[in-house]
Chain A
Amino acid sequence: MKKIFEVPLYPYVKSEDQNAATPARHPVIVVGAGPIGLAAAIDLAQQGVPVVVLDENDRVSWGSRAVCYAKRPLEILDRLGCGDPFVDKGVVWNTGKVFFDERQVYRFDLLAEDGHKRPAFINLQQYYFEEYLVNRVRELQAEGKQIELRGQNKVVSVDPGSGGVSLLVETPDGPYQLRADWLITCDGAASPIRNMMGLDFVGRVFEDNFLITDVIMDADFPTERWFWFDPPFNRGQSALLHKQPDSVWRIDLQLGWNIDKEEEKKTENVIPRLKAMLGDDVKFEIEWVSIYTFQCCRMEKFRHGRVLFAGDAAHQVSPFGARGANSGLQDTDNLCWKLKLVIDGKAPDSLLDSYDVERVHGADENILNSSRATDFITPKSEISRVFRDAVLDLSEKVEFARPLVNSGRLSVPCVYDGSPLNGADDTAMPSRTRPGAPAVDAPIEGGWLIDKLGGRFQLLAIDAQAPGELDVGGVPIETLTFDTRKTPSNAVRERYLGEAPSAIYLMRPDQHVAARWLTFDRDAVVSALQAAIGRA
């Protein structure tokens, strides 16, 4: 049976554009059909913006790669109309165990709070992730949305101008030119477009290598994240074991810096390492092997005029904490509604600068967290190893040391504190739903709050009165009214009211809170909306 990553999902087809006498012009071109590029294209197409996706390949990626997906990205996928297949297929997990040498020193639960539609985390191979997004693209096409996926279309040069972006694209039928009003660049950590534009990508390279393998086996390990520091089977290094769908297990083995990558990748050298870990009697088959060296880097700016960078092309982090793909999805979630308003002439071009501000903030948070995890996992000096081991030793015996154990701080949604788009706040309401924060889900009559949110500006009137609909200079605001006496649990009250008797929340199209008040005031809402779309 052919694996999904062996099948061309968007094979090359010659486009009309290749015969055009003058270069065809598109409102938005996305470069890269990985998880982030596809999410961007789906988001825009859903909003009625015609979009063309170019990718030098024609199939989903090989190997599990970005394997852990957090709750916030799953909610974003729901907003993109396709969350179910990911969650149905994915492996839901909550428990992590940390081992030091031969002992279990620590276990954590992700403490999934009740009253959320989506779980804290799922594990899913990236090839499924991309396949389900391609399926969503096909669905949108069937609905008549203008979204096109062009395989074997490799961008070989880019000319970013103030009036538009010109591209030269290589295909099996030779090169052709394209023009775009806006270019969204999601072409990965090595981003050819970033390099063609001569843009920076600075940060720290970590001198370490990880052997990453997908192993097919019937093993009775529980559905948990297991992390080892200095285990007997990989002395002086770390290891990770994680379950994926289809009896595929993800195993990461730290190898250190001075190794021969080609030698280490050879099956005959990988098998003894796995046997040492899994035991001699466990039968397994290797699906994918890769050696990974990582860095924590970002571009100084994610916006360069009409070229917008997202995902690994804009920022890269070490893998501990699942902050790569998860943050990339938050990039496009942040970008696409802004781009739509700018394209429609309803918001100034400067609104796109807030994409830069908000997502650079997100990237810095991720880089900080994953750098710290890496410093714990890969001590960079003898004394840092001494402290690391002291923490692990103590964590077995005393509670205080356990929060210091850092095998990766798992991705949590970014709060855009200090964003210029944020409006009024009232401290009677809970901190977790402050301006800049993403909506916190809660059960409501007949479903979930999160499913009612997004895609447009909205007012949440909680135990409060507000007009059914507003229009601020062509930007509509829809009102959703909630009576907390009728919600199926206290969650709406706890998560949105706190000490307040009533609340009005202005929500952005990406489900983040823009501003909030105790009661409705038209002028206050209008000025908050203006601020949230960069008009103020």
Chain B
Amino acid sequence: MKKLTTTPNIVDPDGLYAELLALHDGREEDESHAINARLVLILANHIGDRDVLRQAYALAAPELAPNNA
């Protein structure tokens, strides 16, 4: 099973963070939620691997993890 990358994997972390927040600049909350949902779907499709995604879900929502290994 392919493992979810949990070590730093981004060259310019501050830049990434700023770009992500810039997406939401001046947005209404519902608009931001819509953007986030689209983003999750786009990235999930890009990753494609359901095992990797399940590890990501478990990291994001630990109480849902099937086996907290």
Select from chain B the residue with minimum beta-carbon distance to A384. Answer: B37
Interface positions of A from 377 to 424, Cβ below 8 Å from B: 383, 386-387, 389-391, 393-394, 398, 400-401, 404
Distance, CA A457 to CA B6, complexed state (A) = 57
Smallest CB–CB gap between B35 and chain A, Å? Answer: 9
Please, how many residues of chain B have a CB less than 8 angstroms from a CB on the other chain?
Answer: 9
Q: Is there contact, CB below 8 Å, between B41 and A386? A: no
Select from chain A the residue with minimum beta-carbon distance to B48. Answer: A400
Q: Is there contact, CB below 8 Å, between B34 and A390? A: yes
Q: Is there contact, CB below 8 Å, between B38 and A390? A: yes
Smallest CB–CB gap between B7 and chain A, Å? Answer: 28
Q: Is there contact, CB below 8 Å, between A390 and B45? A: no
Residues in chain A near residue B45, CB distance under 8 A: 400-401
Distance, CA A302 to CA B33, complexed state (A) = 45
Residues in chain A near residue B41, CB distance under 8 A: 387, 390-391, 394, 401, 404
Smallest CB–CB gap between A243 and chain B, Å? Answer: 33
Q: Is there contact, CB below 8 Å, between A393 and B34? A: yes
Residues in chain A near residue B38, CB distance under 8 A: 390, 393-394
Distance, CA A521 to CA B45, complexed state (A) = 48
Please, how many residues of chain A have a CB less than 8 angstroms from a CB on the other chain?
Answer: 12
Select from chain B the residue with minimum beta-carbon distance to A401. Answer: B41
Residues in chain B near residue A404, CB distance under 8 A: 41
Q: Is there contact, CB below 8 Å, between B33 and A386? A: yes
Select from chain A the residue with minimum beta-carbon distance to B33. Answer: A386
Smallest CB–CB gap between A376 and chain B, Å? Answer: 13
Interface positions of B from 1 to 56, Cβ below 8 Å from A: 30, 33-34, 37-38, 40-42, 45
From B34, B40, B42, A389 is in contact (CB under 8 Å) with: B34
Smallest CB–CB gap between B53 and chain A, Å? Answer: 14
Distance, CA A19 to CA B45, complexed state (A) = 70
Distance, CA A391 to CA B45, complexed state (A) = 12
Distance, CA A398 to CA B38, complexed state (A) = 11
A-B contacts, 28 of them at CB < 8 A, read A383-B33, A383-B37, A386-B30, A386-B33, A386-B34, A386-B37, A387-B37, A387-B40, A387-B41, A389-B34, A389-B37, A390-B34, A390-B37, A390-B38, A390-B40, A390-B41, A391-B41, A393-B34, A393-B38, A394-B38, A394-B41, A394-B42, A398-B42, A400-B42, A400-B45, A401-B41, A401-B45, A404-B41
